[in-house]
Amino acid sequence: MRRTLALLALLACSAPAWAQRFDVSPSCEVESDWDFHLRERSLILLRDGETPSRLVMRQGRLFVDDAWVELGAEDRRRLAEYEREARAAVPLVRDIAAGASDIALGVLSELSIGFGADPAKARADAEASRARIEKRLHATLRPDRFAPGELGEALGLALRETLPSVVGDVARVTAMAVLSGDAGRLQRLDRLDAEIEALVRPRAEALERDSQALCARMHRLDALDQALDYRAPGGRPLDLLRVRDAEASATP
């Protein structure tokens, strides 16, 4: 039962954080002011409120706002590699985010069913909630687009919609079992803990392997961006992505 309560606490803490960024894995955080759009011949990056606001990468060439810019040979090589890496990474982001939300929603559904007074109704409610949330996520998690802010908000909203009722059920049923000395119910809660762990562990381990691979790609994209000799008007770097190790970002 302690593992279930700890998991709920982790999900509750994660929901607001996802609204600000997309955590690729427990060891890697990605932020960007740009939305990435994949097209057949180009990688397009858009943002609001800053200059430049529109970039187009196409086979080593770079279009900035309203004109193609002159680049050296090394920058053309870096941009061509950046486009290839982004084309490989962006669909993975969608798949990993969908997998993470599926695990979280699956756990919450099992808890709702396990703690509900009416399992049949709890299952129907859980399925209806999952369908509603998956519809929203499907609109955000597209294989040709990466927008960390919108993606994080969608995942956070999915949890914020589902967590309160589940947390309430957990607290209510646990308190009743403890106060009444209902050993049978407490044993059932412990079995539910083990069942959820068995459900989550293999999927979470596979997801973590994929996430670590994606994290390496994101670091590579960030390194290519930082290595560019090209500077935007005013001498600023493009700053397409900001990738940090979670331990480093947590250090004051």
Q: Are the C-beta atoms of residues 219 and 243 closer than 8 Å to each other?
A: yes
Alpha carbon distance 18, 229 (integer Å): 32
3-class secondary structure for 53-120? CEEEEECCEEEECCEECCCCHHHHHHHHHHHHHHHHHHHHHHHHHHHHHHHHHHHHHHHHHHHCCCHH
Task: Please tell me the least confidently modeled range out of 121-135, 175-189, 215-229.
Answer: 175-189
Residue 220, pLDDT score:
94
Say if residue 20's pLDDT is above 60: no
Say yes or no to pLDDT of 83 above 80: yes
Residue-wise pLDDT tens digits, 108-159: 677 666 665 567 777 787 777 777 777 777 776 676 777 665 655 666 665 6
Radius of gyration (C-alpha) of the chain in whole angstroms: 22
Poorest-confidence range of 25-29, 35-39, 192-196, 223-227? 25-29
> Span 73-81, mean pLDDT?
98
Report whether pLDDT(11) > 60: no
HEC profile for 118-162?
A: CHHHHHHHHHHHHHHHHHHHHHHCCCCEECHHHHHHHHHHHHHHH
- Per the model's pLDDT, the better-predicted residue between 107 and 150 turns out to be 107
How many angstroms separate the CA atoms of 20 and 213, rounded? Answer: 22
> What is the average per-residue pLDDT within 205-230?
89
Cα 169 from chain centre: 26
pTM of the model: 0.67
What is the longest distance spanned by two Cα atoms in the chain? 76
Of the ranges 43-47, 63-67, 127-131, which one carries the lowest mean pLDDT score? 127-131
Mean pLDDT, rounded, of the chain: 75
- What pLDDT score was predicted for residue 244? 86
